[in-house]
Amino acid sequence: MTQSTQNEFRVKFWGTRGSLATPDKQCGKAGGNTICVEVECGGHAIICDAGTGIRRLGDKILSEKKHYSINLLLSHAHYDHVEGIPFFGPMFSRDYTIEIWCGKLDGSANTFDIVSGFMRRPYFPVGPEVFTANSSFHEIVELQSFDISPEIHVKTIPLIHPGGATAYRIEFNDKSFAYVTDTEHLPGETNQQIEDFIQGADLFVYDASLTDDELPQFETFGHSTWQEGLRMAKRANVKRYFAFHHMPFRSDDELDQIELEISKELPGSGVARENGSILL
Ligand SMILES: [Zn+2]
Ligand SMILES: [Zn+2]
């Protein structure tokens, strides 16, 4: 690997759909796979969430034979964020070391519990004992920071979501990526903790499941709006903001319109689409 590749900080979307995989024609441009984001920096592979998008990412990792140490950061355990774990190819290879991280969630004692909890009958035919990778499971306590390498630092905050969720800020080489999904905001009220957390980020990806108009009818669902993401991004001097976690009913046409509005106010920003790749 060249020195320049080592210093690169790249983020790629493998799944941007929230709630449920949506292989519908009118969603083809943004993609129908559920939540999965790949981060490459300092020669490391970091994955944020393991929705259905992680299947193709696993194929890529296996074919590239580049990253044998993988950190998977789970925001929480709703199906759209974990359902791809049993289909992630590197989990079935002894060549890989895979560290799986998650914050404390209601109803689960630890991160292994979270994975074994849905990989069991009658929901799934086999349990995590089928994995052959050298995998380990880590719990994140509230507001914990940790290092993936001496150069890669990760900060966390808890989010407002049914059962709990965790946001991650990955810092490398004086650049930062803030990954903030799933979370709800109260109309007209700033979540100051998130705004402080994303301060000056080079890239901010946010739960923009809804629009401000739709929010009242989805109260307590635990989601936010693309407008709220944009307001926070501007106040926090974020360089680029991408609306993410698109609802299954959100069409490509609507997303194009949302992107137009976002990019008018924050050039270089927009909506997250599958296969979209951003160099920080
Ligand atoms: Zn979700
Ligand atoms: Zn959720």
Residue 3 has pLDDT above 60, yes or no: no
CA–centroid distance, 98 to ligand 2, in Å, is: 23
258-277 mean pLDDT? 97
Instruction: Give how far Cα 60 sits from Cα of 7, 90, 99, Å.
Output: 21, 10, 18
Mean pLDDT of the chain: 95
pTM (global) more than 0.75? yes
CA–centroid distance, 194 to ligand 1, in Å, is: 17
CA–centroid distance, 43 to ligand 1, in Å, is: 28
Percent of the chain with pLDDT over 90: 91
Q: Where are the domains of the chain?
A: 3-279
CA–centroid distance, 165 to ligand 2, in Å, is: 7
- Helix ranges, 139-247 (H): 192-197, 226-235
Superfamily of domain 3-279: Ribonuclease Z/Hydroxyacylglutathione hydrolase-like (3.60.15.10)
268-273 mean pLDDT? 98
Instruction: Give how far Cα 206 sits from Cα of 1, 42, 192, 194, 241, Å.
Output: 32, 24, 15, 10, 8
Residue 202 has pLDDT above 70, yes or no: yes
Give the pLDDT score at 2: 53
CA–centroid distance, 65 to ligand 2, in Å, is: 32
Give the pLDDT score at 4: 56
Give the pLDDT score at 108: 87
Residue 40 Cα to chain centre, angstroms: 14
Pick the closest to residue 102 from 79, 75, 135, 83 (CA basis). 75
Pick the closest to residue 124 from 85, 80, 93, 98 (CA basis). 85
Per-residue pLDDT tens digits for 102-156: 999 998 889 999 999 999 999 999 999 999 999 999 999 989 999 999 999 999 9
CA–centroid distance, 182 to ligand 2, in Å, is: 5
Residue 236 has pLDDT above 70, yes or no: yes
